[in-house]
Structures are given as C-alpha cells and as structure tokens.
Amino acid sequence: MKYIEGFNNIFENSLIAYIVIPILLLILSWILKAQYDKHFSIRPRLHLSLGNELYGQMFLGLYEGYNLTWHFECKLINHSKYDSYNVEIYEKKPKLIEKKIATNIEVIRKYFKEKTIIESNQYIEFELEKKIHVETDVLLRSSLEKDVKVYQFGLKIGNPSKELRPQELNNIVLLIKYENEKGRIFYTKFSRVKGNEINGYKLIKPMIFNRFV
C-alpha cells in the first residue's frame, strides 16, 4: 500500500510539474505579453513642429485699433508604425489669461475632434496663432490740430512684429495627448525656446500639465 501511495504522489507531482505549471506559465506569459503590447510595444510617437513664425496685422479702424497676430503653421507627424487615436493638444494654464500662447486653442481642439486618428507615418497640419489687440496710437503717429487728433501716414514703430512680439512666444510649451489602438495613453511634451524645438515622449503626464487650459 505504501508503494502504491508513493507512486500516486509521484504521479500527482509529475502531473503538476509537466502539465499544470506549463499551463500557468503560458497564461502568465500571455498576460505579460498583452500588457507589454498595450503599454510599451504598440507605441505611436507624435512629433510636433511649429514651422516658421509668420506675422500679420489687421487695421480695424481709427477708433478700434489693430489686431496683431503671430501664426505658426504646425505639422504633427506620427513617427511610428502604429496609428494614434484621440489626439488632443494642451498648454499649461498661465497665471494671466492674456498670457495664453494659443488664442485659437478652441479652434485647434475642434479640429482634433474631427481628426481623431493620425495613421502610421502620416501627419496633419493646423495653425496655432497668438493674437493681441493694440490701440491705434500704438502704431500710428498723431498730432493735435485745433484740439483735433490727426493721424499721420506711416507707422510709429519700425518693426511691430519684433517690438510688440509677446514674450510668452519665447518659450512655448505644449502637451500632445494620444492613445494607441489598445487605449493606452501616451504624451509628447513639446518645447520651443528661441526657435529650438524639442519633442520628449512620455508615458506619464508631466506635473506642470495637471491643470489644462
């Protein structure tokens, strides 16, 4: 009887060793593979470029002043073999609302809602703009003639695009949020300082972007 019991124990141990354990290892490897694919392997990489800075000004009238606008013709490129989904763009909340970098951020977000997918090695283009308003006296010369203000031909400022350029455009920081096909969220932190552009790829949302505009 002891011999039979010992044989049964050996048989049970062999059954666990050769059948159950491999099955468990197979299941574990499948789970790890699925998690790796979701979080690391299937990873789109979006790369942002602001391109050249363009300037424009619109005269609204002597009593209305001017709208001055700095434009960036942006290109968002998917530098990977995986499609990206649900693309969103943010900038960190400034201390003063007039210091926002993108004054057309709502237009950009609406555009991204329509263009929710950027396919592998494809890109989308959009315009980022910073608009400010100035009074007529800021740009035009004037004089008083019989207590009447008379504006003279020509600009008071030689190069408004540089002299009136908002300081916040010297250091542009944006965050691109997107997902892979499994729903895993990724981020690209973009910065442009004095014309030099850097794209950093992140798995975790940077702290400075906890509060979105």
Rg (C-alpha) for the chain, rounded Å, is: 30
Domain range list for the chain: 1-41, 46-209
Cβ neighbour number for residue 128 with a 10 Å cutoff: 23
Q: Is 121 left (phi over 0), alpha (psi -120 to 50) or beta?
A: left
Task: Please report which confidence band the pLDDT of residue 100 belongs to, taking 50, 70 and 90 as the band edges.
Answer: confident
Taking 80 as the threshold, does the pLDDT of residue 197 lie above it? yes
CA atoms in the 13 A half-sphere facing the CB of 11: 6
148 to 6, 56, 74, 143, 145: CA distances (angstroms) = 115, 30, 46, 8, 5
Q: Which residues contact 99 (CB under 8 A, 6 or more apart)?
A: 166, 168
pLDDT of 156 over the 90 cut: no
Predicted TM-score of the model (pTM): 0.74
Mean pLDDT of the chain: 81
**Confidence check: pLDDT of 145 > 50:** yes
Q: Mention every residue, 6+ apart, whose C-beta is less than 8 A from residue 68.
A: 55, 56, 57, 131, 132, 133, 134, 160, 161, 164
Instruction: Name the more confident of 206 and 191.
Output: 191
**Per residue in 22-57, pLDDT tens?**
666 666 666 666 665 555 678 899 999 998 899 999
Residues 118-131, mean pLDDT to the nearest whole number: 93
Q: Of 40-44, 106-110, 122-126, which range is least confident?
A: 40-44
How much is the pLDDT for 39?
56
Q: What is the pLDDT of residue 63?
A: 84
pLDDT at 141: 75
> Which pLDDT belongs to residue 116?
78
Residue 78 forms beta bridges with which residues? 46
Instruction: Say if residue 207's pLDDT is above 50.
Output: yes
Which phi-psi region, left, alpha or beta, contains residue 145 (left: φ > 0; alpha: ψ -120 to 50)? Answer: beta
Please report, to the nearest 10 degrees, the dihedral formed by the alpha carbons of residues 208, 209, 210, 213 taken in order: 130
